[in-house]
């Protein structure tokens, strides 16, 4: 979810100027609230007719890129929590519902752009105007809280991604270091290894902190685009090698349960919806296209590819490793340099992606603070907030080191609200006064209700697992070698 997802952060708040800081008594330049970024370049001003933009193929690539992260590596464990039959079917349904909710968001945004004669509207703006157009007087008077709620959820989601990334980095690097002395050149017959003892994974997290701090000090999105390209190449190569491995030597699946216990299904929901979280990307992409009329078809195609990929990796990973599947499938790979390089490539990719995910909450929170200080203090305040935020994500990762539960918790808390709960309610608020069929209202109510149930139950289950495992060292994402 690299650069494209970063675009929504620049829509949520005024974009910081990257010019050198002028003296304290110099005039303040007004923030350009219409600055929006996608793959490193700002959009045309609102009053100018769009003559440039990205092609349909580029839009598809950005959409696919917006879904690729650590979530896909946790899907085999998610399928285990749902069952070898229920898991893939649930992923299919969740992909269809997530795609439908994205289409709802695009239609509602286009409707308000037409009503208000605006060229573009982001997620927060769309929710605010929908509440302002609702028949409820109370909602109209508090419509601005809709924008604040979406901004808050985006901050929670993105910082949650950053926490997951730190845990992922520590786990995978720890396993590579532990097995480095016994790593073989040949991958044939090298399924096990004797691990040497190394330092605790939380110390690895602290070791990454200085590098992460330096990365988040990069405030120019054009520079971050270079890291995005490196991350995409690393992740693509890794996923190809992983898929090639897990598709071979699948044991007899008859011993695996078709439907898992209902107690573990909420964990599946949280991890799965975490993986499908790219709804904040669709509006920036739709606005940036040369021919935005083609965007619905591109969105459907992209989400179909993503859903098929998720079902394939999730099902094959669980079939290949069964009950031995770990929080990240990279931790199940054999101990030879080919598959150790997969872990290292994904470490590089996630390390580069951290700064891009961090860009979103930074662009929401930092302008709010910088606007309240004199211009000579703008840069120190900016850098101080960035350092505090990256330290916060590292502290949270240390306190909650179980990768599978962090994925489920972040997905249940914020991703379910942004992807499932809000869009159907948004459709009702937008079109209710114009007349809606009872079937459409019932459909929207059902999607929001299911999202809310997943939010409550998934959060409760993940928190319960975290509290229950607080007194014992984590095992789900630790390095385990079986003889």
DSSP string, 158-207: HHHHHHHHHHHHHHHHHHHHHTGGG-BS--TT----PPPP---HHHHHHH
Average pLDDT, the chain: 78
Distance of CA 227 to the CA centre of its chain: 17
Average of per-residue pLDDT across 323-344 = 83
Distances (CA, A) of 381 to 30, 217, 369: 18, 12, 8
| CA–CA distance, 202 with 404 (Å, rounded to integer) | 16
* Residue 90 CB contacts under 8 Å (≥ 6 apart), including other chains: 82, 268, 269, 272
**pLDDT, tens only, 393-433:** 999 888 876 766 777 777 777 778 888 899 999 999 888 88
Which two three-digit tokens encode residue 134? 């609702």
Distances (CA, A) of 157 to 9, 100, 227, 416: 12, 21, 21, 10
Which of helix, strand or coil describes residue 34?
coil
| CA–CA distance, 442 with 450 (Å, rounded to integer) | 12
Average of per-residue pLDDT across 271-276 = 81
Q: Does residue 227 register a pLDDT over 60?
A: yes
Q: Supply the pLDDT for residue 419.
A: 86
Distance of CA 131 to the CA centre of its chain: 26
In contact, 336 and 130? CB cutoff 8 Å = no
Q: Supply the pLDDT for residue 479.
A: 35
Q: Supply the pLDDT for residue 361.
A: 84
| CA–CA distance, 3 with 324 (Å, rounded to integer) | 34
Structural domains present in the chain: 3-14+53-467 (1.20.1740.10)
Average of per-residue pLDDT across 57-62 = 80
Q: 382 exposed, middle or buried (CB, 10 Å; 0-12, 13-18, 19+)?
A: buried
**pLDDT, tens only, 103-154:** 999 999 989 988 888 888 888 889 999 998 888 888 888 899 988 998 888 8
**Better-scored residue on pLDDT, 479 or 368:** 368
pTM: 0.74
pLDDT band at 97 (very low <50, low <70, confident <90, very high): very high
**pLDDT, tens only, 61-79:** 778 777 777 778 889 999 9
């Amino acid at each position: 979810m690299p650069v494209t997802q970063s675009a929504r952060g620049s829509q949520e708040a005024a974009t910081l100027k990257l010019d050198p800081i002028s003296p304290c008594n110099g005039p303040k330049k007004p923030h350009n609230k219409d600055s929006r970024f996608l793959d490193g370049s700002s959009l045309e001003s609102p009053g100018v007719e769009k003559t440039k933009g990205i092609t349909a193929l580029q839009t598809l690539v950005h959409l696919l890129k917006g879904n690729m992260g650590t979530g896909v590596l946790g899907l085999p464990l998610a399928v285990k929590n749902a069952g070898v039959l229920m898991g893939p079917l649930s992923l299919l349904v969740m992909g269809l519902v997530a795609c439908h909710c994205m289409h709802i968001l695009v239609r509602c945004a286009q409707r308000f752009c037409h009503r208000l004669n605006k060229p573009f509207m982001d997620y927060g703006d769309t929710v605010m105007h929908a509440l302002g157009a609702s028949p409820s007087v109370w909602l109209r008077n508090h419509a601005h809280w809709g924008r604040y709620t979406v901004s808050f959820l985006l901050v929670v989601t993105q910082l949650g991604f950053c926490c997951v990334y730190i845990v992922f980095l520590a786990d995978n690097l720890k396993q590579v270091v532990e097995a480095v002395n016994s790593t073989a050149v040949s991958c044939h017959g090298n399924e096990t290894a004797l691990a040497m003892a190394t330092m605790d994974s939380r110390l690895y997290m602290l070791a990454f902190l200085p590098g992460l701090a330096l990365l988040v000090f990069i405030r120019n999105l054009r520079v971050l685009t270079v890291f995005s390209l490196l991350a995409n190449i690393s992740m693509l190569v890794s996923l190809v090698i992983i898929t090639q491995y897990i598709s071979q030597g699948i044991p007899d699946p008859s011993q695996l349960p078709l439907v898992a216990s209902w107690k573990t299904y909420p964990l599946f929901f949280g991890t799965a919806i975490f993986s499908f979280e790219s709804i904040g990307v669709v509006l920036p992409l739709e606005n940036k296209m040369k021919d935005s009329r083609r965007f619905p078809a591109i969105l459907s195609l992209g989400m179909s590819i993503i859903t098929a990929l998720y079902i394939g990796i999730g099902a094959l990973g669980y079939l290949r490793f069964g009950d031995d599947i770990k929080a990240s499938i990279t931790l199940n790979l054999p101990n030879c340099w080919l598959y150790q390089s997969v872990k290292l490539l994904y470490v590089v990719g996630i390390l580069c992606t951290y700064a891009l995910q961090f860009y979103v909450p930074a662009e929401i929170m930092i302008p709010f603070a910088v606007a309240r200080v004199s211009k000579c203090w703008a840069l120190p305040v900016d850098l101080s907030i960035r350092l505090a935020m990256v330290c916060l994500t590292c502290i949270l990762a240390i306190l909650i080191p179980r990768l599978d539960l962090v994925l489920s918790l972040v997905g249940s808390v914020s991703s379910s609200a942004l992807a499932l709960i809000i869009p159907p309610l948004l459709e009702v608020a937008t079109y209710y006064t114009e007349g809606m069929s009872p079937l459409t209202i019932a459909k929207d109510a059902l999607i929001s209700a299911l999202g809310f149930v997943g939010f409550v139950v998934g959060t409760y289950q993940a928190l319960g697992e975290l509290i229950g495992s607080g007194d014992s060292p984590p095992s789900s994402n630790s390095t385990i070698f079986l003889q």
